[in-house]
Structure formats: C-alpha cells, structure tokens
Amino acid sequence: MSRATTHSAEEAALREPWEDIARQRQAVEMGMWAFLASEILFFTGIFAGYTIYRSTYPEAFWVAGGHTSLFYGGTNTAILLVSSAAMGIVPSAARWPSLGSFARTMLWVAALLGIAFLVLKGFEYAEDFDEHLFPGPDFEIHERGAQLFFAFYWCVTAIHAIHLIIGIGLVARLAIAGARDPRWFSQTPAVQATALYWGLVDVIWTIVFVILYLPGRGS
Amino acid sequence: MTDAVLGDTLPHDVTTFDKGYLGDGHTLGSWLFTTDHKRIAILYAVTITIFFFIGGIAIALVRIELVTPAQDFVTADEYNRLFTLHGIVMVWFFLVPSIPTTFGNFLLPMMIGARDLAFPKLNLFSWYLTIIGGALTIYMLLAGGVDTGWTFYTPYSSIYSNSHVIAAAMAVFVAGFGTIATGVNFITTIHTMRAPGMTWFRLPLFVWAMYTVSVVIVLATPVLAMTLLLMTLERFFGVPIFNPNEGGDPLLFQHLFWFYSHPAVYIMILPAMGVVSEVIPCFARRRLFGYDFMVYALIAISVIGFFVWGHHMFVSGQSAYANLVFSFLSFIVAVPSAIKVFNWTATLYRGQITYESPMLYSFGFVGLFTIGGLTGLFLASIPIDIHATDTYFVIAHFHYVMVGGTVSAFFAALHFWWPKITGRMYPEAWARFAAILMFFGFNFTFFPQFIMGWAGMPRRYGSYPPEFQIYHVLSSAGAAVLAIAYLMPLAYLTWSLRWGRRAPDNPWRATGLEWQTSSPPPTHNFEKLPIVENEPYDYHPRGYVDQEHEAAGTAESPQKGGEQQ
C-alpha cells in the first residue's frame, strides 16, 4: 500500500486529543487493561465468596456440583474457546488492508459463537428450573450449603452472560463500522480493545467452568 | 486581544462567560454534549454541589431531632432514613467524586501539559453515569428513602428492610462505574500524555494524588459493585448469598463491603492531600519539603490502605488473629500519613507565609486531619475500639478526616483555582472570614461528639439519656454555624462571577503549568504546548541563598521576593 493510503487511514482512526495514532493506540490499550483489572476485581468479589463457602461446606458443594450439566458447560466452554481463537486473529489481520474483510468475518464468527453460547445457556437454565435447582422452598438438594452453591451458580453465570451480551454488541458494532469504513478499521485501536475485552469474558468463563461444573465429577 | 483589554478596563462588566473555554458556546447543548474536560468538571461541580446540599439538609434535620433527648421531631423510622440518606449522598455523591471529578478533571490535563484527558467521550459518559446514579438516588428519596444505614449490612438490607434498598444500591452501583471510568481515564492520561520534560518526579503532588487515587478507585470500587449486586440479587430473587438461614455468612458481606469502603476513605483523603501540597508551598513561597517522600507516602497509603479493612469489624466476631493483623496494619498506615503532615509543616519553615483564604483552609485541613488521624490510632487499638465502637467517638473521628480534612481541602482548592476556572477573583475578606468560620463551626460541631462518644453515646439513635443533651445541643449549634460557613462561599463566589475583579493568569505567582495559560484557559488549554524544564515547586533557588544576590533582587523588585526565575 502507498504511504498516502496509510496516512489517510491513520487520520480516519485518529481521535481528539491525539496527535499520532501510535500514541493513541498505546493509550487505548493501557486504558483497556486498567478496565480489565477493574473487571477482574469485580469477579474476584464473587469468587472470594464462593471460595469461602466451598471451604465451609465442601461436601454440599461436591454434591451440588454434580447436579450441573457437564454437557452444556463443556460445550459452552469449547464454543467460547473457539470464539477466542477466531478473535485472536483479528487484531493482527485487521492491520492488513487485504485481510480486512477476513478480520471482519472472524469478528462475526466470534459474535455468532457468542450467541450460540447464550442459546445453549438458555436451554441449560430451562433444564435447571425443571430440576428445581433455583434456590427456594422446593429446592432439589437438601444438603445444607447446596443452596449457596446454586446461588453462586445463578449469579455468576448471569453476570457472565451480561458481560458476553455486551461483548457481542461491541464486536458487532466493530464489524459493522469496519465494513462501512475499512480504512478506519485498519488503524483503529478499538479492534485491539474489543479483542482484549472478549478475551476477558472468555477467561472468566474458564474459571467459572472449573469451579461450577467440575466439582462432584469423578470419584 | 482587544476583548481582553476591554475586559480589564471594565472590571464590573457583565461578560463573564465570554473568554476561553467559557466563551466556546453558550447553549445548553454546548454543555451537555461537551467533551472538554474543563466543562465536564463544571458539570460535575454543579452536580455534587446539589448533592452536598441534599445530604446537608438530611443531617440538619437529624441535628434538630437531637437537640432534645426525646424522639419528638421525626419518628424513629424517619430518623433512620435521614441519616442513611446523609451517608449515601455524602459518601458516593459528594466525597468520593468531589475533588477528582471537579479539580482533577479540570486541572490534571493542564498540570501535565496536555490538551485534554485521554478519553474525552468516556469522561462525558462517566458524568452521565453519575447523573443516572444521582437520579436513582432522588427517586429513592422521593419514594420514601432507605433505612439500612449507608453500610447496607445484610441480612437486614437483603431480607428484612421495608425500604427502597434496591434503588439505593443500584444508584451507588451505577455511580461507581462512573468513578471507575474517571479512574481509568486519569491513569491512562498520566501515563501517556505528559508534556516533554514532565518526568514522573516532576509531576505536581496533585497529579500524583490523582494517580494513586485512580488506582484505588479502579481496584476497590468493582468489589463494592459486586457486593451490592449480590445483595440486590438476594433481595430481589431470593438467592441466598448472605442469608444465615441457608448457611450463608453475613460477615462475608461486611468483609467485601469494607474491602471497598476502607480504601474509599483514602479515595476521599488522597486528593485532599494533593490539593494541600499545592497550596502550602505557594503561600509559604517554599519548595515542598521532601517531595520524593511525599510521593512515596501517597503510594504507601494507597497500598497499605487496601489491607486494613478488618478494623471496622473488631467486634463482629472475626478471629482474634485477624483482629491482631488488622490492628497492626492500621497503625502502620498512620506512618505515611504522619510523614505528610510533618512535611507540610516543614515546608512552612523559613517560608514567607501569607494568609490568603486557600492557605487558611489548608491550615484547617492539616490541623483537623491530624486530630482525625490521631483519633484513628485510638480506634486501631483493639481494646479502645471495643469501648468506642458504634459511638459518637467514631463519628467524630471520621468526620474530622472527611469533613475537616477533605471538605476543607475542597474549599482550599475551590478558592485557589477559582480565578483560573472562572477568570474572576473572589472577595478575599469574605473568603477569609468563611474559612475561619468553617474551622470554628466544624470544631464546635464535632469536638463535643468525641466527648459524648467516649462517655458512651451510641450512634444512630434519635433519642438518648438526658445527660448527653449538653453535647448534642453544642453539636447542633455548631452545625448551624457550619451551615452558614458553607452557604457563604456559595453566595460570594456566585457574586464574583459577575462582579468579581478580572483574574490575571497567575494571581498567586504559583508554579505549575496550569498557571502559564490564560484565565480562564482556552478550549485546548495552551496556545502552544509547554516543555517542562523546571523542578516542581520551584519557588526559590535551591541550596544556600546568596545573600548579596538576594538583597539586590529584592531591591530591584520588592514584590518578587523568593519567586521563581
């Protein structure tokens, strides 16, 4: 590509108050990392609560963990990991004008996998309701502490799902805006920032999978 | 430039909002959709002023109730809702955002020589989040209020309370994300936008304070957000997170809550320390004593501040070992705070001190913060805390830090930078009177609370044994004085917008990049971006003063003694 094209692409991606795109990119990445640190502390609050209760009621958590659906949990984990692989290609691919449309396809792949995750999660929730796994008077498991496990199950997965919905929105926005203005897409730091956020949502899910779906499996 | 000349020849003209960033649009839209950090600072200032008076009215009603021992002015339930409203509004809608979102927003980019914050749209968005949170608070107030106390302790808040807990919790939740956005913005700005030559150890202490406070905001606030969210989910959906009937632990809520709310105290005080570190060197015409250690002290406070939350829970039944460790760490956090107090004091040594109102407010800060900090050591000591827990001693202690400290510093900042922000001088005599009145009003209100708290007067009661009445009457009378002292600046500062003398660019002959641009500053802050070549607080030559040279200098321009250059 010619220097002039690069230059105009940089101009399209440049925002107030920045004077050069490299600095802007650095700042957006840094800001995103700071926000991710904040998000990690957000989830740490609930994970800390889970850890304390699990050490108080190890058997109840073991029994309750066995009632979650390994099929849905496992499939969803696989889906999100694949979506992250697709997303992992995007920041590098987006920088090459010839790979721009490929990068946008990968964005859509990630977004659709995210939607697939939510659909499966919906089926899983429906099944959980049928099995009386929502804490309350007619709760399925009678062991003391099991309700706590499922309180965390519902809260953590719901809060994660909200993060995923926001992620899907950001990814779709990026893909649409990128198709409208491919020059902007090739330079904007929004690509890297969105990918970072998607990565966080995926990493959080991996932890959720381990602490909610794996207890109570095996001997 | 003809405009400026005209302005100076007509000091009493009505065209206040015609210059700099203030002249850049006069429509409502030019304010509500602005991305200029200076205008957003003004939006925040108006917002928190409104909330300051809402919180103030709530506590005024509480103080009226407390004049007599009987519960006769409001019912016990109304009393609970009043002090809760006071706490929620003052903590999350005044103190936490106070200095960072107003002076931080306005000054941070200028102090480091930048045109704006790193993310101007995010900055505006954070104000809208604050407004949404504020609107929820107003809704909560109009719907009937909350009676849990600002601490929202479970299981009362999550199961038993019949008040608008969810609205209040969501208000704090949303506003919390507003402050997180501000924190992210500040951190990024300070890392990536410093002017050439503005090295980390040339940053004004105010910028360092903004940096450390932003880190605390970004890392502590999300934990509160999650805690309140879990409490809300428990209340709304009945999922037992903290419910002891299902084996949940209410203490978990307290741990998570104080993991935020103790660092929140430092969110409130660190910016105040930043302000005072700017004001004292300026009016003492001295370099800030021990600049490096002032920086390290800020960092130490913000780090250790994360590990002392358990001292709010000495009587909660947490383990004796936890109490021991939290007590020890609470003593440790006093060390960097003391370093700061000593360094401010040492800055005054051999200074050419003048007593302009920002300096008076700063002196107020140092004295009151010291009393607040020292009584904090009483409370860090477990046996004394067991005696004083939930008494007015605690109330007095944290009001000395937050009101005596942070609010005094807020007013110091308001007067110090008012000429820069508005382009107008305020009436100095009135301001000095207000500063002194505020100091007396404050002590009048809160000192009796130390005594009655020590004597056993518990907090959060609308009725009390008659032997405490004298202290409550003193305290309520002091609150009236304090109210007048708070209303005075509102009056004379508003007056100065129209009739105040035009402010020069640098009325205090202060160092710092914000004083090198015009008053009020242009929309993009600087005509030409500055290059920094001087150390901070360069108020006099370093090392031994050349007597002969200084004498000559003084003779030449008697007004410039000890100034930079």
Which pLDDT value is given to residue A19? 85
Full domain range(s) for residue A105: 20-213
Rounded to an integer, the average pLDDT of B35-40 is: 96
Rounded to an integer, the average pLDDT of B408-427 is: 96
The span from the CA of B339 to the CA of B343, in Å, is: 6
B398 contacts B372 by C-beta, under 8 angstroms: yes
Number of Cβ within 10 Å of residue B547's Cβ equals 8
The span from the CA of A59 to the CA of B398, in Å, is: 43
Q: Which of B187, B192, B255 to mutate to test the interface with A (most CBs of A within 10 A)?
A: B192
Tell me the pLDDT band of A97, cut-offs 50, 70 and 90.
confident
**DSSP count for chain B of H helices, then E strands:** 19, 0
Q: Which of B121, B170, B239 to mutate to test the interface with A (most CBs of A within 10 A)?
A: B239
Are the Cβ atoms of B241 and A154 closer than 8 angstroms?
no
The span from the CA of B239 to the CA of A136, in Å, is: 7
Q: How many domains does chain A have?
A: 1
pLDDT tens readout for residues A148-179: 999 999 999 999 999 999 999 999 999 999 99
Whether the upstream peptide bond of residue B336 has omega within 30° of 0, thus cis, is no
Q: Is residue A6 part of a domain?
A: no
Which pLDDT value is given to residue B17? 72
Whether pLDDT at A6 is above 80:
no
Rounded to an integer, the average pLDDT of A54-60 is: 95
The span from the CA of B309 to the CA of B415, in Å, is: 34
Tell me the pLDDT band of B18, cut-offs 50, 70 and 90.
confident
Which pLDDT value is given to residue B555? 44
Which pLDDT value is given to residue B544? 56
The span from the CA of B435 to the CA of B279, in Å, is: 14
Residues in B closer than 8 angstroms to A60, CB to CB, are 247
Which pLDDT value is given to residue B546? 55
pLDDT tens readout for residues B89-126: 999 999 999 999 999 999 999 999 999 999 999 999 99
Whether pLDDT at B553 is above 60:
no
Mean pLDDT for all residues in chain A = 93
Tell me the pLDDT band of B42, cut-offs 50, 70 and 90.
very high
Q: Pick the closest to residue B269 from B95, B45, B49 (CA basis).
A: B95
pLDDT tens readout for residues A136-148: 888 989 889 999 9
Residue with tokens 């004295």: B367
Closest-CA distance of chain B to residue A184, Å: 18
Which pLDDT value is given to residue B545? 54
Which pLDDT value is given to residue B9? 44
ipTM rounded to 2 decimals: 0.94
Share of chain B above pLDDT 70, in %: 93
Are the Cβ atoms of B246 and A144 closer than 8 angstroms?
yes
Closest-CA distance of chain B to residue A77, Å: 24
- The per-residue DSSP string of B394-453 comes to HHHHHHIIIIIIIIHHHHHHHHHHHHHHHSB---HHHHHHHHHHHHHHHHHHHHHHHHHH
The span from the CA of B122 to the CA of A29, in Å, is: 14
Are the Cβ atoms of B229 and A27 closer than 8 angstroms?
no
Mean pLDDT for all residues in chain B = 92
Q: Is residue A68 part of a domain?
A: yes
Whether pLDDT at B548 is above 70:
no
Whether pLDDT at B540 is above 90:
no
Architecture of the domain spanning B31-277+284-551: Up-down Bundle (1.20)
Q: What is the CATH number of the domain that holds A70?
A: 1.20.120.80
Q: Which of B186, B217, B241 to mutate to test the interface with A (most CBs of A within 10 A)?
A: B241
Whether pLDDT at B218 is above 90:
yes
Tell me the pLDDT band of B449, cut-offs 50, 70 and 90.
very high
CB under 8 Å, gap of 24 or more: what pairs does A96-101 form?
A96/A186, A97/A1, A97/A5, A97/A9, A97/A182, A97/A183, A97/A186, A100/A178, A100/A182, A100/A185, A100/A186, A101/A179, A101/A182
Which pLDDT value is given to residue B551? 53
B377 contacts B331 by C-beta, under 8 angstroms: yes
Which pLDDT value is given to residue B557? 43
The answer to whether B188 contacts chain A (CB < 8 Å) is yes
B165 contacts B152 by C-beta, under 8 angstroms: yes
Residues in A closer than 8 angstroms to B526, CB to CB, are none
Helix (H) or strand (E) holding A148: helix A146-180
Rounded to an integer, the average pLDDT of B148-162 is: 94
Q: Is residue A15 part of a domain?
A: no
Chain A with chain B: Cβ pairs closer than 8 A? 121
Which pLDDT value is given to residue A3? 60
Tell me the pLDDT band of B561, cut-offs 50, 70 and 90.
very low
Rg (CA), chain B: 24
Whether pLDDT at A196 is above 50:
yes
Can you give the pTM of this predicted structure?
A: 0.93
Rounded to an integer, the average pLDDT of B140-164 is: 94
Closest-CA distance of chain B to residue A73, Å: 21
Maximal C-alpha separation, chain B: 82
Rounded to an integer, the average pLDDT of B56-77 is: 96
Least CB–CB distance from A34: residue in B218, B234, B237: B218
Three-state SS for A5?
helix
Rounded to an integer, the average pLDDT of B185-213 is: 96
Rounded (to 5) percent helix, strand, coil in chain B? 70, 0, 25
Which pLDDT value is given to residue B442? 97
CB under 8 Å, gap of 24 or more: what pairs does A185-188 form?
A185/A94, A185/A100, A185/A103, A185/A104, A186/A9, A186/A13, A186/A94, A186/A95, A186/A96, A186/A97, A186/A100, A187/A9, A187/A10, A187/A12, A187/A13, A187/A21, A187/A95, A188/A12, A188/A13
Whether pLDDT at B246 is above 70:
yes
Residue with tokens 């506003």: B175
The answer to whether B319 contacts chain A (CB < 8 Å) is no
The span from the CA of B116 to the CA of B107, in Å, is: 10
Which pLDDT value is given to residue B16? 61
Rounded to an integer, the average pLDDT of B39-47 is: 97
Which pLDDT value is given to residue A10? 83
B169 contacts B103 by C-beta, under 8 angstroms: no
Instruction: Kindly state the tokens that stand for B443.
Output: 């002590």
Tell me the pLDDT band of B550, cut-offs 50, 70 and 90.
low
The answer to whether A130 contacts chain B (CB < 8 Å) is no
Rounded to an integer, the average pLDDT of B456-478 is: 96
Least CB–CB distance from A42: residue in B118, B226, B249: B226
Exposed/middle/buried for residue A2 (C-beta within 10 Å: 0-12, 13-18, 19+) = exposed
